A and B are shown apart, each in its own frame.
Chain A
C-alpha cells in the first residue's frame, strides 16, 4: 500500500527537495522554468508522501507514546554515538503536512511572483533546500540532528532574506537574522552538549526514559540549567523577546519567502523544538514558567508595536512574533495540543496573509505603506476576499480557524494562571484591532494615490490558486481539527478533552468585534482622528512606533562591547604582543651592531688578529705545556 511505503520511506520527504536543490544548483540553475518545475514536482511528491505518512499514523495507530523510528549511525567516535533518522508520531505527521502544504503552495505562488527575476532558478533552489531542511528538522530523532537541520534552516533563511543581494538593506537583514539566531544557537548548543555529557545520549526517546530516574537521583538543578539553555535556541529562532529583532527585518526577502519563514518553516522550528522537548521541560517548573511568561510578554509586546506600523509586511511580521508568543505561552502552560493546533491554523492563515500582502505589493509596484494604498477592495476582489478571511481567522472570529486554536490557548492559560489569561486576552483584542486597521486602510479607505490605484490589478492564476487553497484551509482547518479530535493525536500526556469554554469563547469574540468596530470608526468612518489619538498617547506612541528602540540599544552595545573591544585588542596585539617580538628582534640586531665592527672585511686586520692570537697561544703553551699534555693524556 502507498501509505505503508510512505511510512517506510519517510526519509524521502526531506531528501527529494534536497535533491531538487542539488539538481537545480548544479545543472538547471540558468533555466528558470525547468528549475521551477523540478522544485514543484519534488514538493508534490513530498506532499504526497507526507499525506501518506499521516494516513499511516492514523491507520497503524502510531501515537505519541508509540512512535515509529528508523535510524542509522552518522557518527561514532569514542563514547559518542550520533544517529540520523526519522521519528514519526502524530506531532511529526502534522508538521510534515503543514510544511509540505505551505511550501508547495508558496512555490506555486512564486512561479508567478518571481517571473522575470534573473535569479529565478536560484530562488527555487533555495526554496527547495529550505523545505528540505525544515522537513529534516521535523523528522529528527535526536537533538543533534535537530540542531544540524536547525542551522541549515538558518542558512536558507539567510540566503533567502538576502536574495536581492544587490540591496544593502537585504544584505544587512540577512546578516542580522543569522547573527541573532546564532546567539540563540549558542545556548542551544551548550544545552545539547550538557545533555550529551550528562546522559551520554541526545536521543529523544532514550532521554525520555532516562530523565525520570535522573531526577529522582540527582534532582532538577542541572536539568533546569539545561532546559533554560535549550530554550535560548527557540527564543532566537522563533523571534521571542529579546531576540525578536531579526524577524521584522526578514521582510527584505521576496514576499513568498516571508510567507514561508513566518508560516511553516524557520520560526515554528523553535516552537517545534520546545514541543518535542516537553518531556524534559514539563519536569522543570521554573523552565515552564519562563517559557510561558516569555511567550506572553512577547505576544503583548509585539502586538503593541504592530498597532503603529505602516508597512504591510512589518505589521504582519510583528503579528507573527505575537502569535509565536501565543504558541510559547501555550507550551509554557503545558498544553502541547493548544500550541500545535494554533501552529497549524496560524501556518495557513499567516501564509495566506503574506501571500495577499505580496499580491497587493505586486499590484502597487512594491509599495509597502498601507496608508498609500486604499480602495483596493474593488480592484482586487479575490485578494480582498482572501485577506478578509485571513484577518477574520487571525482575529479569532468563529467559525474561522483561528477561533478554535486561540480559544484552546486562552482556555489552557486560564486553567493555569489568571495573569497569563489576561495578557493573552488583551493581546487578542490588540491583534483584532491592528489586523482590522490593515484591512480597512488598504482596502476600504479612499485611494491615497490615484496613479497607483489605477495601476493596481488582480493577480494571475499562479498566484491566485494558492490564495484560494489557503483561504479554504484558513476557514476549515480549525473546525476540522476541532471535530476530528486533533487533541487525541497531537498531545503531551493524556488526550486533551475537546470542548469550547463558552465564557472564554464569547468574551474573546466580543472583544475582537469591538476592536473591529473601533478600527472602523477610526480608519474608515474617521469619527476619531488617528493622529489625534497618537498625539494623546505621546511617549507611548513614540515607543511603539520606534519598536521600543531595541534595535538602537543593540547597535550601541555592539558598537562598544564588540567593535570597541576588538579595536583595543588589535592595538594590544600590534603594539604590545608584536611590540615585544619586534623589540627582541631589535635587541639582537643591536648586539650584532656592537660586534659587527670586528668584521671589517680587511685582510690585514684579520691577519693581525690572527698573529696576535697565535702568539698568545704560543706563550700560553710555553708556560703551561705540561698541563696540556696531562689533559690530552687523560682524554686518550
Chain B
C-alpha cells in the first residue's frame, strides 16, 4: 500500500467526477448527484484512512508523492500532508461531501452546478496537499473561477445584489492572489541561485534557515503575504467581502468558502509566512495581534446588529478568524496549534450553520430573524443542527470549538495580555448574538406559516450527520484533533525558538 497514490486519488476524485459529469445527460439529475456524492465519499474515506494511519510519532510530511514536472523552473508535482495540512484536508473533504448533499435539491442547471462544485473542491484540496508553491498557487487560482460563476448564477440577492457579491468575492480573492504571487516570485528568485531554483516549500524553508533571506526582505515579503492571506482570512479592514459574499452565494459555496477556502489564508500564513519568512512573521506579529483583537470585537458587535442570518454568520466568521489570527500572532506552539485547530472547528460549525440556513431558506425563502420564528415546532432536526452549530460557536465545552479557543488563549495570554483579554471578552458577545439569533428563529410560539414545510430527512439530514459527528467527536475527544495538529506544530519549535528574540513591530506592543 505504500506506493498507492492516496493524495492524488483524493485530489482526482472530484476532478474525475467533474469530467464524468460532462458525459452525463443533464436530465438524469439523480445520477449527477450520485456521481458527486460517490466521488466525495471516496475522497472522505481515503482522507479518514490517512488521518488515522498517519504516524504521529514520526511526524513530518507523509503520504508523499513527487514527480518532476517543469524541470526548467524547478516545478514538481509534489504532494504530502503533515499535522497541519491533514486536518485541513479532512475539513475540506467533510465539508465537500456535506456541500454535495446540501445542494441536492438545486433545480437550476444542476449538472453545471455540480461540475463547478467539484472543480472548486478539487482546487481547495490541492492547496492543502501541495508541497510545491507552484502547485499551491495553481490550485488557488483554480478556485476563483467556479466561485464567481456559482455566485452570479445560483446566488441570491438580498441586501446586496448577487452580482455585486460575486464580484466583490472574486476581486478580493484575486487581489489576495496578486499580492501572494508577487511575494512568491520574490521568494523564488531570492532563495537560490538560478540553476538551483525550486518551488519546493521545504527547500525554501531551508533557504530561510540558512539565512538566504535578509531580515529586511523577510519583513517586506511577509507584508505582501499578509495582505494576500490576511484578506483571504477576512482580517480587518479587509473583511467586508466575507459577509456580503456569503450572503450572495448559494449554500454550497457559502459552506465551502466559510468552511475551508477562508482557511487557506491562515494555512498560508503558517506554511509560507512563518516557515519561510520567520523574521517577517515575528516583526508583524504585534500588528496582527492588534488587528486580531479588532476582528474579534468589532465583528462580534456588528453581528449583534444584523437581521439576515447569513450576515450574522458572516460577521461571526470574521470574529472567529480573529482568534485564529491571535493564535498565529503569539508565535508559540500552543497558540499556533490552537489557531490551526480553530480553523477546523470554525470550518465545521460555519458549514453546518450555512447548511441549516440553506435548508430553511430553500423552503421558506426567508433568512431574516425578523421573519423566521418558532422553527423548532416544525423542524426539530434543523433546530438541533442550529443549536449544535450555535453552541459550538460560543465555545461550549464538549463541542469542537472549546479546546482550540482555550489553547489559543493559553498560548497568547502571556504574549499579548491586553489583546488577549479583550479577545476573550468576545466570548460574551459571541454568546449574545448566537443566543439571540437562535432564540428568535427557533423558539417562541408556533407560526402557522411554516406548517407546510417539513423537517429535514433523508439526504437533507446528511450534512447535519456528517458535520455533527465531527462537532461532537472532536469535542469530546479533542486529542484526536489536537494531537494531530500538535505533531505538526511541534516541528516549528526550533524555528520559533530561533526567532524568539528577533525584533518586532513597535518593539512588540502588548
| Residues of chain A having any CB pair with chain B under 8 Å | 73-80, 144, 147-149, 151-152, 155, 162, 165-168, 171-172, 174-175, 178-179, 182-183, 185-186, 189-190, 193-194, 196-197, 562-563, 565-567, 569-570, 573, 577-578, 581, 585
A74–B406 Cα gap in the complex (Å)? 13
Q: List 30 A-B contacts (CB under 8 A).
A: A75-B403, A75-B478, A75-B479, A76-B483, A76-B486, A77-B334, A77-B482, A78-B337, A78-B490, A80-B334, A148-B398, A148-B402, A152-B398, A165-B442, A166-B377, A171-B443, A175-B436, A179-B435, A182-B427, A183-B428, A186-B424, A189-B424, A189-B427, A193-B413, A193-B424, A566-B302, A570-B305, A577-B237, A577-B239, A578-B240
Tell me if B421 and A166 are in contact (CB < 8 A): no
Chain A residues with CB under 8 A of B456: none
B478 CB contact (under 8 Å) in A74, A185, A563: A74
Would A77 and B486 count as touching, CB distance under 8 A? Answer: yes
**A77 partner residues in chain B, CB cutoff 8 A:** 333-334, 337, 407, 482-483, 485-486
A79–B407 Cα gap in the complex (Å)? 11
Partner of B397, one of A147, A562, A569: A147
Given known pairs A152-B397, A183-B428, A569-B305, the reply for A193 and B409 (CB within 8 Å) is yes
Interface membership of B22, Cβ < 8 A: no
Given contacts A165-B376, A179-B431, 10 further A-B contacts (CB under 8 A): A73-B479, A75-B403, A77-B485, A155-B396, A165-B444, A185-B427, A570-B302, A573-B298, A573-B302, A577-B239
Q: Are A166 and B304 in contact (CB under 8 A)?
A: no
Query: B414 on the interface (CB 8 Å rule)?
Result: yes
CA distance A567 to B303 in the complex (A): 10
Q: Mark B401-419, 1 if CB is under 8 A from A, else 0.
A: 0110011011101100000
Choose among A166, A175, A186 the residue that contacts B439 (Cβ–Cβ < 8 A).
A175
* B412–chain A nearest beta-carbon distance, Å: 10
Decide yes or no whether B301 CB sits under 8 A from chain A. yes
Tell whether B446 is near chain A: CB-to-CB under 8 Å. yes
B-chain residues with CB within 8 Å of residue A144 when the two chains form the complex: 406
Determine if B142 is an interface residue (Cβ-Cβ < 8 Å): no
Q: Are A78 and B332 touching (Cβ within 8 A)? A: yes
Are A562 and B304 in touch, CB under 8 angstroms?
Answer: yes
Q: Given A80, A162, A171, A570, which contacts B410 in the complex, CB threshold below 8 Å?
A: A80
- Nearest Cβ in chain A — how far from B2, in angstroms? 29
Is A151 within 8 A of B442, CB to CB? no
B425 in contact (CB, < 8 A): yes
Q: How far is the CA of A49 from the CA of B101 in the complex (A)?
A: 45
Min C-beta distance of A300 to chain B, whole Å: 29
Q: Does B291 contact A (CB under 8 A)?
A: no
Q: At the interface, yes or no: B494 with Cβ under 8 Å from chain A?
A: no
Out of A73, A149, A189, A573, name the residue touching B240 (CB < 8 Å).
A573
Query: CB distance A186 to B391 under 8 Å?
Result: no
Which residues of B are in contact with A by a Cβ distance under 8 Å?
168, 171, 237, 239-240, 244, 298, 301-306, 332-334, 337, 374, 376-377, 391, 394, 396-398, 402-403, 406-407, 409-411, 413-414, 421, 424-425, 427-429, 431-432, 435-436, 439, 442-446, 478-479, 482-483, 485-486, 489-490
* Minimum C-beta distance from A354 to chain B (A): 24
Q: Which residues of B contact A185 (CB under 8 A)?
A: 427
Instruction: Determine the distance from Cα of A382 to Cα of B442 in the docked complex, in whole angstroms.
Output: 40
Main secondary structure of the interface of B (DSSP, over half): helix
On whether the beta carbons of A569 and B435 are closer than 8 Å, the reply is no
CB closest residue in chain B, given A162: B443
Report B-chain residues with C-beta under 8 Å of the C-beta of A562: 301, 304, 429, 432
The contact of B391 among A155, A165, A190, A585, by CB within 8 Å, is: A155
State how many angstroms separate the Cβ of A175 from the closest Cβ of chain B: 5
- Smallest distance from the beta carbon of B314 to chain A beta carbons, Å? 11
B305-A566 in contact (CB<8A): yes
* Cα–Cα distance between A317 and B240 once the two chains are bound (Å): 46
Q: How far apart are B446's CB and chain A's nearest CB, in angstroms? A: 6
In the bound complex, residues from chain A placing their C-beta under 8 Å from that of B306 are 570
- For A168, list chain B residues within 8 Å (CB): 444-445
Q: How far is the CA of A182 from the CA of B424 in the complex (A)?
A: 12
A80 in contact with B407 given A182-B428, A186-B427, A190-B424 (CB within 8 Å) = yes
Given contacts A152-B397, A581-B240, contact A193 B479 (CB under 8 A): no
**Docked CA distance A148–B429 (Å):** 19
- From A147, which residue of chain B is reached at the shortest CB distance? B397
Residues in chain A near residue B410, CB distance under 8 A: 80, 193, 196-197
Q: State in angstroms the CA–CA spacing of A411 and B377 once bound together.
A: 53
The docked-state distance in angstroms from the alpha carbon of A172 to that of B306 is: 19
Contacting pair A78 B333 (CB below 8 A): yes
**Given the known A-B contacts A186-B427, A566-B302, A578-B240, are A152 and B409 also in contact in the complex, defined by CB atoms under 8 Å?**
no
Which of B303, B435, B446, B490 lies in contact with A175, CB distance below 8 A?
B435
Return chain B residues, CB-CB under 8 Å to A165. 376, 442-444
Report yes or no: B431 in contact with A197, Cβ–Cβ below 8 A.
no
A175 contact set on B, CB distance < 8 A: 435-436, 439
Give the top 9 A-B pairs by smallest Cβ distance, nearest first. Answer: A148-B397, A566-B304, A566-B305, A78-B333, A570-B305, A165-B443, A78-B334, A171-B443, A578-B240
Complex interface: chain A residues within 8 A of B483 (CB): 76-77
CB-CB under 8 A from A75, the residues of chain B are 403, 478-479, 482
Query: Which residues of chain B come closer than 8 Å to A197, judged between CB atoms?
Result: 410, 413-414
Residue contact B445 to A567, C-beta cutoff 8 Å:
no
Q: From A149, which residue of chain B is reached at the shortest CB distance?
A: B397
User: B486 near A78 (CB under 8 angstroms)?
Assistant: yes
A563 near B304 (CB under 8 angstroms)?
Answer: yes
User: Which residue of A is nearest B427, CB measured?
Assistant: A186
Give the docked Cα–Cα distance between A570 and B239 (Å): 13
B305 A179 Cβ-Cβ under 8 A? no
Complexed CA–CA distance, A165 and B374 (Å): 8
Q: What chain A residues lie within 8 Å of B444 (beta carbons)?
A: 165-166, 168, 171
Provide the bound-state CA to CA distance between A420 and B311, in Å: 52
> Is B439 a contact partner of A172 (Cβ separation < 8 A)?
yes
**B479 near A569 (CB under 8 angstroms)?**
no
Chain B residues with Cβ below 8 Å from A147 are 397
CB-CB under 8 A from B435, the residues of chain A are 175, 178-179
* Cα of A79 to Cα of B304 in the assembled complex, Å: 36
B445 near A166: Cβ-Cβ < 8 Å: yes
Measured between beta carbons, the chain B residues less than 8 angstroms from A566 are 301-305
**What is the bound-complex CA distance between A196 and B302, given in angstroms?**
32
Bound state CA distance, A234 and B153, in angstroms? 53
